[in-house]
Amino acid sequence: MSSPIDIAIVGATGTVGTALVEILEERDFPIGQLHLLARAASAGKSISFRGRNLRVRTVEAFDFAQVRLVFFAASEAVTCQYAPQARAAGCALIDLSGGLPLQQAPRVVAEVNSQVLQGLAAPFQLTSPASPAIALALVLAPLRPLMHWQRLSVTACLPVSSLGREGVAELARQTSELLNGRPVEPRLFDRQIAFNLLGRVGAIDAVGHARLERRLAEELRQVLALPELKVAASCVMAPVFFGDSLSLVVQAVQAIDLPAVQAVLEQAPGVELIEPDDCPTVVGDALGQDVAYVGRLRGGMDDARELNLWIASDNVRKGSALNAVQLAELLIKQGL
Amino acid sequence: MSSPIDIAIVGATGTVGTALVEILEERDFPIGQLHLLARAASAGKSISFRGRNLRVRTVEAFDFAQVRLVFFAASEAVTCQYAPQARAAGCALIDLSGGLPLQQAPRVVAEVNSQVLQGLAAPFQLTSPASPAIALALVLAPLRPLMHWQRLSVTACLPVSSLGREGVAELARQTSELLNGRPVEPRLFDRQIAFNLLGRVGAIDAVGHARLERRLAEELRQVLALPELKVAASCVMAPVFFGDSLSLVVQAVQAIDLPAVQAVLEQAPGVELIEPDDCPTVVGDALGQDVAYVGRLRGGMDDARELNLWIASDNVRKGSALNAVQLAELLIKQGL
Ligand SMILES: NC(=O)c1ccc[n+]([C@@H]2O[C@H](COP(=O)([O-])OP(=O)(O)OC[C@H]3O[C@@H](n4cnc5c(N)ncnc54)[C@H](OP(=O)(O)O)[C@@H]3O)[C@@H](O)[C@H]2O)c1
Ligand SMILES: NC(=O)c1ccc[n+]([C@@H]2O[C@H](COP(=O)([O-])OP(=O)(O)OC[C@H]3O[C@@H](n4cnc5c(N)ncnc54)[C@H](OP(=O)(O)O)[C@@H]3O)[C@@H](O)[C@H]2O)c1
């Protein structure tokens, strides 16, 4: 359909970068040249794409004028360091790190607020939100016409892979040490993560909120176009390798029409609603899937204006790489 | 101080029963004869108590007239089956299973609502609440004078030991199968629990609430003596062996005075408050301790009437056996 475009992925060797390469291949994305970029340590490795082995190169030496679109899938700092070069070279830019301000690179969930793109002019800059924000937005957006919200309270249990490869390696190491009867010295986390839950993810600010909790609230407000929405968010690190598990309480102004909520979620794009007597989990349901799974849909125990539900979603796929590729597809339609 | 009394523990070989025996020994409880009861399968085993090995006997054959106090630490069904015999024999009764109605056996947390005992006459019947309800009550009770609550929202991440020995064995089995590269067939749970989170614990009712979620709300209302308190509760099963981890949002009617909350929690009995930049966890902090650990105390991100916090508490110790023994100590003072 559209003429192939040349693309670079910064952080191509990571958890998210690897998924990006896979999804670009799966979805037959119209790519000319694909440039895989990482640190010098990974330069020379090769990654398979459409039957060819592509060499990883260092981002330092890369000339962004060679490509029209860049995915930033390394850290926030790396995004901030190289985004100016990419912009100067006229590239469109899709950030997965959250390193760019909301005003500069709006948060977009493909199924929810793609209309944002209409207001943008080249060079395009978009951000794929944090994975729990994507899952929440997919579930909440279709409910907006049904109710007026007072507030959301979410407890987001995140997998170690939300910290990338090192998180995965650390949980595996600790678990196997413990099962072999050896004491565990935590490295990546300040406490044991195996068979434990950490009530804090990342640094917290002067009033006690984690950066990710703030980001979640801000991104939800932007994606749902509800700037006044009140959000209570708690992020927890769980001894789970992959997949976000979210416990959500929605408080509405009026009594909630549960059958209507159910009917809307059954039709909602990017969402799979599970019967109320079952409950989806990340392992066995959500992992590897392109939708967020919703279960345990129920009212309040003592309040007709309350809605409770549970979401299981693949943090690497739907929660980052897939949404980023969907954003790229939208940019192409927009004439990237 | 008081004359020794004869005691029976129904379910003495279980997770909670074993902890009961330990704590009775640690606290120098004034015991005459201690009778350890379980199923026929465990009869003949022996358990050490104050340097002697006590034989486990079957509950079926037991004559409750031999004792003055019975701890029920088997299932709800076992409590319902044998409580009438114990009552008929004039025993005082402390239930840890939740099998008896609230009206018959009031829920008591020693530090919180021991005044309930004043209104009771022999034969005494008390219930030690579900472990997350105990931890929540310890933290919330001292805050009552500071604020008027609109509602609580709690996500309770429970360990597999909240299902007893079988839960512990199942998580250990699944984890080691997976680390050895073998596929896992879930047995006790309907899905893999290793490296996964289950958004449903136990059976749910016709409108989608788990029995334990209802119990939590009801017990909190009774223990805090706030019959109108609105509670949203979600119980989650986590791949953790021991310890409850609770994420709590409190909504008050007026703006919250955080320094006052902090000052009160620093003094509160049964509670250990951790500095805001740290966060307590079950492994490494709460396990084996007699207090509930509180951390991440903070206001709302966008609402001055909101309070957020995290609790880590030992489900077997403070969350059941210790509180039950404290209740027995109170009964003795009451002239059991
Ligand atoms: N994991 C998730 O669930 C998730 C979800 C949404 C968004 N994100 C975001 O996506 C980004 C990547 O996360 P990840 O989970 O894929 O992390 P990861 O597995 O640790 O991978 C990090 C990637 O960044 C590269 N990198 C690190 N420092 C670099 C530098 N100075 N210059 C160039 N490349 C550098 C690494 O290359 P080397 O191989 O050379 O080290 C690697 O490719 C993060 O910003 C993260 O917050 C992650
Ligand atoms: N684990 C927790 O975190 C926790 C916290 C608060 C309250 N509770 C409650 O405490 C109770 C015990 O839990 P647990 O975790 O200790 O369970 P557990 O480890 O599975 O132990 C169960 C105990 O009950 C006994 N039992 C089972 N069926 C019996 C029967 N028909 N007659 C007599 N005894 C019988 C078992 O004896 P055998 O050895 O003969 O099988 C064993 O001693 C439950 O009601 C639970 O809900 C548990």
- How does pLDDT run across A159-210, given as a tens digit for each residue? 999 999 999 999 999 999 999 999 999 999 999 999 999 999 999 999 999 9
What distance in Å separates the CA atoms of residue A157 and residue A247, rounded to the nearest whole number?
Answer: 8
Number of domains in chain A: 2
CA A77 to ligand 1: nearest atom: 31
Task: Mark whether A115 and A206 lie in a shared domain.
Answer: no
- The CB of B270 under 6 Å from ligand 2? The reply is no
Give pLDDT, residue B2. 66
Task: Mark whether A121 and A172 lie in a shared domain.
Answer: no
* Structural contact between residues A105 and A138, judged by C-beta atoms closer than 8 angstroms: no
Q: How open is the CA angle A139-A24-A111, to the nearest 5 degrees?
A: 20
Average pLDDT of the segment spanning B203-225: 97
Task: Mark whether B188 and B255 lie in a shared domain.
Answer: yes
- The CB of A313 under 6 Å from ligand 1? The reply is no
Predicted confidence (pLDDT) per residue in B226-242, tens digit: 999 999 999 999 999 99
Give pLDDT, residue B188. 94
Task: Mark whether A295 and A170 lie in a shared domain.
Answer: yes
How far away, in angstroms, is A17 Cα from ligand 1 center? 7
Task: Mark whether A109 and A224 lie in a shared domain.
Answer: no
Task: Mark whether A161 and A241 lie in a shared domain.
Answer: yes
Predicted confidence (pLDDT) per residue in A46-105, tens digit: 999 999 999 999 999 999 999 999 999 999 999 999 999 999 999 999 999 999 999 999
pLDDT at A258 over 90: yes
- The CB of B156 under 6 Å from ligand 2? The reply is no
| CATH number of A74's domain | 3.40.50.720
Task: Mark whether A143 and A289 lie in a shared domain.
Answer: yes
pTM above 0.95, yes or no: yes
pLDDT at A264 over 90: yes
What value of ipTM does the predicted structure carry? 0.96
Task: Mark whether B183 and B114 lie in a shared domain.
Answer: no
Among B299, B152, B303, B155, CA closest to B228: B152
Mutate which of A9, A15, A78 to test ligand 1's pocket (most atoms within 8 Å of Cβ)?
A: A15
Q: Would the CB atoms of A231 and B298 count as touching at under 8 Å?
A: no
The amino acid at residue B82 is: Y
Q: What percent of chain B has pLDDT over 90?
A: 95
What distance in Å separates the CA atoms of residue B95 and residue B80, rounded to the nearest whole number?
Answer: 10
Give pLDDT, residue A2. 66
Task: Mark whether B157 and B108 lie in a shared domain.
Answer: no
Mutate which of A35, A39, A240, A323 to test ligand 1's pocket (most atoms within 8 Å of Cβ)?
A: A39
Range of the domain at A15: 5-128+320-333
Q: Would the CB atoms of B306 and A213 count as touching at under 8 Å?
A: no
Task: Mark whether A186 and A80 lie in a shared domain.
Answer: no
pLDDT at B102 over 70: yes
* Structural contact between residues A327 and A120, judged by C-beta atoms closer than 8 angstroms: no
Query: Mean of the per-residue pLDDT values for chain A?
Result: 96
pLDDT-derived band at A28, boundaries 50, 70, 90 = confident
Residues of chain B found within 8 Å of residue A302, distances taken between Cβ atoms: 217, 230-231
**Of A308-317, B119-128, B177-186, which has the strongest mean pLDDT?**
A308-317
pLDDT at B285 over 80: yes
The amino acid at residue B36 is: L
| Terminal alpha carbon distance of chain A | 13
pLDDT-derived band at A12, boundaries 50, 70, 90 = very high
Give pLDDT, residue B321. 98
Task: Mark whether B153 and B76 lie in a shared domain.
Answer: no
| CATH number of A266's domain | 3.30.360.10
Task: Mark whether B176 and B88 lie in a shared domain.
Answer: no
Find how far residue A145's CA is from the centre of its chain: 25
What distance in Å separates the CA atoms of residue A93 and residue B202, rounded to the nearest whole number?
Answer: 47
pLDDT at A5 over 80: yes
Average pLDDT of the segment spanning B58-82: 98
What distance in Å separates the CA atoms of residue B321 and residue B312, rounded to the nearest whole number?
Answer: 17
